Amino acid sequence: MKKKPMYLHETAGGVPPLVDRRHDAGFKSDAAYRATLPDMMEAVNAAEGARVPIQQVGCANFRLPLRFRTAGGKEHTLETSITGTVSLQAGLKGINMGRIMRSFYEHQDEVFSFEVLRKLLLKYQRKIDSFNARIRLAFSYPMLQPSLRSGLAGWQYYRVALEATMDQDGKFSRVLEFDFVYSSTCPCSAELAEHARQTRGVYATPHAQRSKARVRVALAAGRNVTIEDLQRHCANALKTETQVMVKREDEQAFAELNGANIKFVEDAARLLYHELAGDKRIADFEVACSHLESLHSHDAVSVIAKGVKGGFTADFRDFGSLVC
């Protein structure tokens, strides 16, 4: 019986595959060869499905070590997750996503800021022929924070994102997102614990938990807000940021601090509203808070927005991302 060949694998008796799968490691492409390569941007009537525009197409979570400057003038090089997208007109297929990544490599030695993102968005629109473009940079930002009483200090890491958008009219928008982790002690539980101690001599502790606030601020035109500014706003409003370096005197101080600043999740939202509303550099904001209840098997959540017409709408739903 004649041996039947396979497409990709050699069969018994030394019958070679029909397809040669050897990698030609020594091949070098030149301009003439590259000119012969198929380009999907030249395809006609190639788009599948409905002939409608798409609001966002692009690359998500490609990573680069990017440089950021602190409020004090120092620089950090941070692993950064980048998402770059553009709008796609009806009937078009393919945006050459490599251009989005290459545009970042062209600026990789710069200190990143919203101004650098503005230049990148203009490149997107010009090179990819797009109406709208947006960029999001997400990273973990270190800040050295002092202990409460011992004089020690430790590095606190904050989840931060810079978002920039450019519409077809050239309107440039900037949003800074900041996560703040704090301790929340339940006011109701604190009252009940004191009641047990006063009326029955029973020692009880109120329930407290690690909690997270996510603050999104839209910057006013011509104004800047630093990451350090947002950390300061959150600390001023909530008081009970979780600690890094702790000795016994610090732990005692933290217990006292929590006792002086008991709060429900709705209190946290309103405290942050009051703090952020006083900063004229912030045109709009949205705050989402989650208290990871130690009493309940569920979390307590709240969302509040400044209330700017056409701005943030307090439609936050991704509470699972606030686990800390």
pLDDT tens figures, 22-60: 899 999 999 999 999 988 777 777 778 888 888 888 889
319 with 180, same domain: the answer is yes
- Domains: count for the chain: 2
- Domain termination site, one of 112, 136, 160: 136
Tell me the per-residue pLDDT of 125-144, one tens digit each, with 9 for 90 and over. Answer: 777 667 789 999 999 999 99
182 with 274, same domain: the answer is yes
277 with 194, same domain: the answer is yes
Tell me the per-residue pLDDT of 84-124, one tens digit each, with 9 for 90 and over. Answer: 988 887 776 666 677 778 888 888 899 999 999 999 998 87
Taking a C-beta distance cutoff of 8 angstroms, is the pair 177, 160 a contact? Answer: yes
105 with 200, same domain: the answer is no
131 with 200, same domain: the answer is no
User: 124 in a domain, yes or no?
Assistant: yes
- DSSP letter string, 237-275: HH--BPPSS--HHHHHHHHHHHHHT---HHHHHHHHHHH
CATH code of the domain containing 277: 3.10.270.10
Report pLDDT for 1. Answer: 59
CA dist 188 and 5 (Å) reads 77
In degrees, to the nearest 5, what angle opens at C-alpha 73 toward C-alphas 72 and 74? Answer: 100
- Domain termination site, one of 136, 158, 186: 136
Position 63 confidence tier, pLDDT thresholds 50, 70, 90: very high
Cα maximum dimension of the chain: 97
Domain encompassing residue 238: 171-324
Question: Between residues 132 and 261, which one has the greater pLDDT?
Answer: 261
Tell me the per-residue pLDDT of 182-233, one tens digit each, with 9 for 90 and over. Answer: 999 999 999 999 999 999 999 999 999 999 999 999 999 999 999 999 999 9
User: 181 in a domain, yes or no?
Assistant: yes
